[in-house]
Chain A
Amino acid sequence: MAAYWTYIIVWAALIVLTGVTWGVSYIPLGMFNAVVALIIASAKASLVALFFMHLKNEKELVWAFALFPIAFLALIIFGTLTDVLFR
């Protein structure tokens, strides 16, 4: 059972990261803008999943249920791209 403070700290981190991703978007990095933005988004998503959704305290079975769909999401994206990108 997490302490209230844990949630507040995670919340603060999420706000900070939101500011960071917003700020970085003003710096022209070419195609790396997308990469950086998605990395920051994934960091935020991980914080939400681990702490707010309590994944950190869950057994491997729940982790499997959480991670499997992401693998399938990657599958549909990359499978489609093998066609779309190489026509």
Chain B
Amino acid sequence: MENVLQNRGYLTDKGFRSWAYTLDHKRIGVMYLFTTLFFFLVGGVFGLLIRLELLKPASWLFSDQVYNELFTMHGAMMIFLFIIPGIPSGFGNFFIPLLVGARDVAFPRLNIASYWIFIAGILVVTGSLVHPMDTGWTFYTPYSAKTAASVTLLSFGIFLVGMSSILTGLNFIVTIHKLRAPGMTWLRMPLFIWGMYATSIIQVLATPVIGITFLLLAAERIFGIGFFDPAKGGDPLLFQHFFWFYSHPVVYVMILPAMGIISEVIPVFSRKPIFGYKAIAYSSLTIAFAGFLVWGHHMFVAGISNIAAIIFSFLTFSVAIPTGIKVFNWITTLYKGKIYLDSPMIYALTFIFLFIIGGLTGPFLGALATDVHLHDTYFVVAHFHYTMMGGTVMGLFAGLHYWFPKMTGRMLSEKAAKLAWLFIFIGFNITFFNMFILGFRGMPRRYAEYQPQYQGQHIVSTVGSWILAVGIIIMFYNFIRCMRNGEIAPANPWSGRTLEWQVTSPPPTHNFDEIPVVTKWPYDMGRRDGQ
């Protein structure tokens, strides 16, 4: 079958140097996607190993020390090397200039620098594996100040990864402010851009705090400063305040881009304009802002004052409001729409369903009385896997299936995509819904050994993890195979109305032959082209 991609667009130039020294945001986005997806798979393997160990109540596969290292690296890798950079640095880089009608981001050289800083951070993090971290991804003091693991190296590695995140966010903020095409007012921007704008604000304001936190942790180990050491008058809770001041807003860095993707996919695949555009746009900013007010809810049982606990608990409930607004608007968009259940849409609908579950289990933890019972149990593990994997990762998968034709010039196999989805959906829910109940029953998180009455449920979750893994494998096989042999994609396979669909698949290096003049918003759907 004559399946050669005639016009390779931005993919034309070949060779290592054409990628390593590129200034093209699309290539940089692709490199980020490959790198972050690689760590998704590596982190996933760690997850499978954790689940294997948990088949039996007593240690059997790994020592407890190795188990501690496994869940630490699973968390740290997934969070810092996959989910935080994933959609922003991958899809953000590729599509922000296209969606706003620009030729590139505001600072292309800073962009490629951010990628190489990311790689440097990864190399340092990998170097720390000579003595893997065993503190949990939250690196709480005092243990993290004393453990023999390579905390200092890992701290510097994550500092570099954070720098990369900051530079990316900075680039996007300036790009969105200054490089929009003529006629693209703020209220004609695609909602993915609103989501990325809100995300970038968080990245810029929150990430430096984790930077200083890791510097202080390294300084405690190297120079013996005493901020977090009670023996020297310090306060271990201060570490937690600093850590969570970043790490709570960062969950909104994780979810806002995914929500942006959902806001793009839902209208296109229901052939209806998005309902409540302004509400969705402004709610992105509200979530970004409100996300900064609630970090203390990770510390309710750590020993903070009652006043602080009450204030943070109250504020925590406020974040649900703008989130709920989005969900209502997506569902309303579907009403009386013509629904096309192609793979991007299936993942988008999956996102909504799973994220609702994840989101609704948040208040259980935000309410002080119930949190005392549920904190540090499997309930928490289930909650954040539903929001981060059921949410962000499904959003990422939706984006991958939606934009694969644009990025590669080829279509995916819908059959393989749907088969993969089935395994992923079933496997995910078995693995993680089960954990809500485990947590309610009192199973603590991060324990390698547990009471025998929990074994039945642990076996269920482990089997679920295998089903999930099969689905991921099928999905990646689909990607890899169709990158070479997929059916040639048209410029606009889904009849989208945002600007990336006006250029070829794949786009030319310079994006647009002429910068478009925008006269309307991108959600006038109508029928699919050619129908």
Contact = CB atoms under 8 A, between A and B. Distances in A.
Tell whether A and B belong to one assembly: yes
Interface of A: 61, 68-69, 72, 75-76, 79-80, 82-87
Given A79-B241, A83-B305, A87-B303, A72 B311 contact: no
Given A87-B303, A87-B304, A79 B205 contact: no
B292 interface: yes
A86 B306 contact: yes
Contacts of A75: 292-293
Contacts of B205: 68-69, 72
13 contacts: A68-B205, A72-B205, A76-B209, A79-B308, A80-B241, A82-B305, A82-B307, A83-B296, A83-B299, A83-B308, A84-B305, A86-B306, A86-B307
A85 B305 CA distance: 8
A80 B299 CA distance: 11
A83 B177 contact: no
B379 interface: no
B308 A86 contact: yes
A84 B304 CA distance: 7
Interface of B: 177, 205, 209, 235, 237-238, 241, 245, 292-293, 295-296, 299, 303-308, 311
Contacts of B304: 83, 87
Contacts of B235: 84
Q: Most chain-B CB neighbours within 10 Å: which of A69, A72, A79? A: A79
Nearest to A75: B292
Contacts of A86: 305-308
Given A61-B177, A69-B205, A84-B235, A79 B307 contact: no
The prevalent SS among residues of A at the interface is helix
What is the predominant secondary structure among interface residues of chain B facing chain A? helix
Contacts of A85: 305
A76 B249 CA distance: 12
A68 B237 CA distance: 26
Given A75-B292, A76-B245, A85-B305, 4 more contacts: A83-B237, A83-B299, A83-B304, A86-B305
Given A75-B293, A86-B305, A87-B303, A80 B238 contact: yes
Closest 3 interchain pairs by CB? A86-B305, A83-B308, A83-B304
Nearest to B311: A82
Nearest to A65: B173
A17 to B, nearest CB: 28
Given A68-B205, A69-B205, A72-B205, A79 B305 contact: no
A11 to B, nearest CB: 30
B37 to A, nearest CB: 32
Nearest to A87: B305
A73 B239 CA distance: 16
Nearest to B238: A80
Nearest to A76: B245
Contacts of A82: 296, 305, 307-308, 311
Contacts of A80: 238, 241
A83 B241 CA distance: 9
Contacts of B245: 76, 79
Contacts of B237: 83-84
Contacts of B305: 82-87
Contacts of B311: 82
Contacts of A69: 205
A64 to B, nearest CB: 11
A87 B177 CA distance: 44
A13 B397 CA distance: 59
A87 B305 CA distance: 4
Nearest to A82: B308
Contacts of A72: 205, 292
Nearest to A85: B305
Contacts of A61: 177
Nearest to B209: A76
